């Protein structure tokens, strides 16, 4: 249910949760200071309590009460990428944040979303926690329709259009004297090199029982359809592909966009994956012939996860 801006403010300021737009994906927001609302976030999503939440702020000044010392390059990163799809995980002052938010870790994740409506909202509500507004195990929602589909038509949603980036924020963590990417996202590793003087390594911790990003441990989205990533396209099954390429005649093709445009493919990716289930597709072939660099790395990682049967 789409709600007006003032209603969203009112709900968030009275221990309720609201789905909010960001430039990456829609978030399921609650006040950082409302334990009751935070409990609702975990129960609505069916989210494991060991998976911490990202704190959303409209300005880095709001981090002062929670953080004693900022790691090297922190302010340069913030100046370059906030507001925008960068989340930073840093050490916090003990007991300064509800342990439900951090899953009891000594660190917390912070980001400043660029969506103008949510920037305006944060000025009225103060810091908000917001995981992606999907049910755990579904792809993140990139439209208000996706949110309503997952959480129900009566669920309060602040409408902000279709998310520009379409994939989640990139998460950086300062560990052993260097920044590392612990979740790939809308910003690619190469984009940090001019700021840091080095390209941060990607440490997703796959298979590690104690990854730097706890979210890696939990069930990820896999459509009902079996995804085929290798071999030649089969004209008898749907194809997820690119509009500037040709596939066997008579194929049913769902387009990610143009093969030269990673930004557009990321923008469309979750909507395309959701379409597979909506159309009850049982098997699909995906065109994986795209570069192993830049934003394509994030697209590849999300597709590989979606193709893993769990």
Using CB under 5 A as the criterion, which residues of the chain lie in contact with Mg ion when the complex forms? 132
When binding is defined by CB under 6 A, the residue of 16, 34, 125, 132 that contacts ligand TXA is 132
When binding is defined by CB under 6 A, the residue of 25, 44, 122, 306 that contacts ligand TXA is 25
Q: How far is the CB of 310 from ligand TXA (least distance, A)?
A: 16
Q: How far is the CB of 150 from Mg ion (least distance, A)?
A: 12
CA–CA dist 150, 155 (Å, integer)? 9
When binding is defined by CB under 6 A, the residue of 169, 259, 268, 298 that contacts ligand TXA is 169
- Closest residue to Mg ion using C-beta atoms: 132
Q: How far is the CB of 181 from Mg ion (least distance, A)?
A: 16
Q: 284 to each of 150, 249, 288, 307, how far by Cα in Å? A: 23, 16, 12, 10
The count of residues interacting with ligand TXA (CB under 6 A) is: 28
Q: Closer CB to ligand TXA, residue 27 or residue 238?
A: 27
* 268 near ligand TXA, rule: CB under 6 A: no
* 122 near ligand TXA, rule: CB under 6 A: no
Token pair for residue 211?
A: 């990854």
* 19 near ligand TXA, rule: CB under 6 A: no
127 binds, among Mg ion, ligand TXA, none (CB under 5 to 8 A by kind): none
Q: Closer CB to ligand TXA, residue 109 or residue 284?
A: 109
Q: How far is the CB of 153 from ligand TXA (least distance, A)?
A: 21
Phi-psi domain of 104 (left: phi exceeds 0; alpha: psi -120 through 50; beta: other): left
* 214 near ligand TXA, rule: CB under 6 A: yes
Q: How far is the CB of 201 from Mg ion (least distance, A)?
A: 23
* 77 near ligand TXA, rule: CB under 6 A: no
Q: How far is the CB of 216 from Mg ion (least distance, A)?
A: 11
CA–CA dist 183, 167 (Å, integer)? 11
- Where does this chain bind ligand TXA (CB under 6 A)? 22, 24-25, 27, 51-54, 85, 87, 89, 102, 105, 107-109, 111, 113, 130-132, 168-169, 171, 183, 213-215
């Amino acid at each position: 249910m789409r709600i007006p801006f003032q209603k969203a403010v009112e709900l968030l300021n009275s221990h309720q949760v609201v789905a909010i737009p960001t430039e990456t994906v829609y978030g399921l927001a609650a006040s950082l200071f409302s334990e009751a609302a935070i409990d609702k976030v975990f129960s609505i999503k069916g989210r494991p309590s060991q998976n911490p939440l990202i704190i959303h702020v409209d300005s880095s000044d709001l981090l002062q009460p929670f953080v004693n010392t900022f790691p090297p390059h922190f302010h340069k990163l913030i100046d370059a990428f906030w507001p925008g799809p960068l989340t930073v995980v840093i050490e916090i002052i003990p007991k300064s944040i509800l342990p439900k938010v951090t899953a009891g870790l000594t660190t917390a994740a912070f980001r400043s979303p660029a969506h103008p409506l949510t920037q305006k909202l944060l000025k009225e509500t103060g810091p908000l926690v917001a995981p992606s507004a999907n049910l755990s195990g579904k792809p993140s929602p990139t439209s208000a329709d996706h949110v309503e589909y997952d959480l129900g038509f009566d669920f309060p949603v602040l409408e902000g259009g279709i998310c520009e980036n379409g994939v989640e924020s990139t998460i950086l963590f300062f560990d052993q004297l260097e920044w590392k990417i612990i979740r790939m996202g809308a910003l690619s590793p190469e984009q940090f090199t001019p700021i840091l003087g080095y390209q941060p390594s990607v440490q997703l911790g796959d298979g590690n029982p104690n990854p730097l990003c706890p979210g890696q441990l939990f069930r990820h989205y896999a459509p009902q359809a079996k995804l085929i990533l290798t071999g030649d396209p089969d004209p008898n099954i749907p194809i997820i592909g690119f509009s500037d390429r040709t596939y066997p005649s008579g194929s049913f093709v769902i387009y990610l966009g143009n093969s030269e445009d990673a930004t557009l493919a990321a923008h469309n990716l979750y909507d395309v994956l959701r379409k597979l289930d909506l159309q009850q597709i049982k098997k699909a072939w995906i065109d994986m012939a795209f570069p192993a660099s830049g934003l394509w790395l994030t697209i590849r990682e999300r597709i590989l996860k979606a193709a893993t049967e769990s």
